[in-house]
Amino acid sequence: MVVKLTNAQIAWRAAQDLPDGAYVNLGIGFPEMIATFKPEGREVTYHTENGILDFGEAPPAGEEDWDLINAGKKAVTLNPGASFFHHADSFAMVRGGHLDVAVLGAYEVAQTGDLANWSTGPGSVPAVGGAMDLVHGARQVWVVTDHVTKKGEPKLLEACRLPLTGVGCVTTVYTSLAVIDIVDRRFVVREKLPSMSLEDLQAVTGALLAVGAAVGDLIVPEL
């Protein structure tokens, strides 16, 4: 039986790949969890679009300063050496290639690296925030997501159906079943759950999976 990873376990797995010394932007919601699982001894500096570099954990309840928030409007604290800057400088950091990693959620990812994560189509209020900027400029753009939708439909596709956030921008997808790199417009499986065959994984994926030199086991702790 295949037991898929929880969101916390997906976040843990992505966190293991954070490079030492990296400047990282974690998207609102699910990606924010990655900070919790940063490996000991690795130094990571977090950027938030609204103008802080090197923010830390949430303050204790009752000690929030609402002028000190992240892009998700949650209260944060500052690490020694933090800095403030205005929005144009903040997005110069983003588009100018100064971030090492940006992590976002997804509705759909295409094998070409296209990402759809901002609009479910007509009938809702559209909201894009900083996502269309973040997918350009960071050296690596990671997606953390369940492998399939709530209805069990594949989220990894040959081409996105929903409105795009960016074209050819995603470099790695961390899902509830696998770690998949996007190389030369193909999904290349780096790791998969050991309880699952490649055929099983292919069956819940909407595009052809390629295999690199070897497929590793996706093993995460109980969290």
Partner 1 sequence: MNKICPTIEDALAGIEDGMSVMIGGFGGAGAPIELIHALVDRYKATGSPGRLTVINNNAGNGAVGIAAMIYAGMVAKMVCSFPRSSDPKAFTDAYLAGKIALELVPQGTLAERIRAGGAGIPAFYTPSSFGTQVAEGKPVAEFDGRSYVQERWLKADVALIKAELADAKGNLTFRKAARNFSPLMAMAAATTIVQASRVVEPGTIDPEHVVTPGIFVDRIVEVPNPAQEEALLREGAK
d(CA 184, CA 174): 18
Q: How far is residue 209's CA from residue 22's CA, in Å, rounded to a whole number?
A: 29
Q: Are 205 and 158 in contact (CB under 8 A)?
A: no
Burial label for 153, CB within 10 Å (0-12, 13-18, 19+), is exposed
Note whether 115 and 143 are within 8 A (CB): yes
Structure tokens at 205: 């994926």
49 is known as an active-site residue:
yes
CB nearer to partner 1: give 75 or 210. Answer: 75
Which of these ranges, 8-16, 29-37, 63-71, 184-192, lies near partner 1 under the rule CB under 8 A? Answer: 63-71
- Among residues 49, 57, 108, 191, the one annotated as catalytic is 49
Alpha-carbon distance of 189 to 182, in angstroms, equals: 9
61 binds partner 1 (CB under 8 A): no
Please say which residue, 49 or 146, places its beta carbon nearer to partner 1: 49
Pairing of strands 186-192, 178-183: antiparallel
SS3 140: strand
User: By C-beta, is 12 or 137 nearer to partner 1?
Assistant: 137
Question: How much is the CA Rg of the chain, to the nearest whole Å?
Answer: 17
The residue among 17 and 85 lying less far from partner 1, judged by its C-beta, is 85
184 forms part of the interface with partner 1 (CB under 8 A): no
Q: Which stretch binds partner 1 (CB under 8 A): 7-15, 161-169, 180-188, 197-205?
A: 161-169
- Taking the complex as a whole, the smallest distance from the CB of residue 177 to partner 1 amounts, in Å, to 28
Site for partner 1 in 98-127 (CB under 8 A): 114, 119, 125-127
Task: Scan for tokens 């376990």, then name that residue.
Answer: 9
Taking CB under 8 A as the criterion, the residue among 19, 51, 56, 105 binding partner 1 is 51
Residue numbers annotated as active site? 49
Q: Which residues bind partner 1 (CB under 8 A)?
A: 48-52, 65-69, 73, 84-88, 90-91, 94-95, 114, 119, 125-133, 136-137, 163-167
